[in-house]
Amino acid sequence: MRHFKIIAAAVLAGMLIVASAGYSAESIESIRSRLAKMSSGLHDLTGTMTITSASRADAKEISKGVLQFVEYGFTEAKVTFKRPDKYRAEGKARGMMVIFVQNGNTKQVIAPDIMLKSTEDLSKKRNKKQNTLDVGFASELLWEDNSLRLVSSSGGLIKLDMRPKGS
């Protein structure tokens, strides 16, 4: 989880560095407002993720989820995000199709080849929910399931502390 927070802060900071030019005093609300404005036009996002050479150590540095992705034998996945909180990932591991779907507070894992379908309620497990950072961009939607606090803001670099609500 620590590495995820570092990566999340880096992605968010990178997105805000460009947007920070011309802004002198930052507040958490001004950051949220600018993220809302910058990401408002993005409603659907689809991409393909491919692993070319996987190292367990490198995957573990990124996150536990990426490590599991590598360990299960996935080499490619199609990832789709729809605003505000729908997320879908499809991939093949060892010849078997696996689908991960998140719709609001409901998460499903489906493996049709072995007739597996599990459903989980994430309303009290907000740290397990996928969000816009998981598909590569920061948005105001981060505030729905997380508490964000401004740590520092100087020279166009913004550092935030992000923790799932309820933790």
pLDDT in tens, 116-164: 999 999 988 888 888 787 777 788 888 888 899 999 888 888 888 988 8
Asked if 62 and 125 sit in the same domain, the reply is: yes
Residue 29 lies in a domain: yes
Asked if 59 and 120 sit in the same domain, the reply is: yes
Residue 48 lies in a domain: no
Asked if 35 and 59 sit in the same domain, the reply is: no
Number of domains in the chain: 2
Residue 85 lies in a domain: yes
Asked if 37 and 6 sit in the same domain, the reply is: yes
- Report pTM: 0.66
Q: Which residues are 110's β-sheet partners?
A: 99, 117
Residue 47 lies in a domain: no
Asked if 92 and 150 sit in the same domain, the reply is: no
Per the CB < 8 A criterion, the answer to whether 82 and 63 are in contact is: no
Asked if 73 and 110 sit in the same domain, the reply is: yes
Burial 127-140 (b: 16+ CB within 10 A, else e): eebbbbbbbebbbb
Instruction: Supply the pLDDT for residue 103.
Output: 94
Residue 14 — very low, low, confident or very high, per pLDDT cuts 50/70/90? low
- For residue 34, give its domain range: 1-42+137-167
Per the CB < 8 A criterion, the answer to whether 28 and 158 are in contact is: no
Asked if 101 and 157 sit in the same domain, the reply is: no
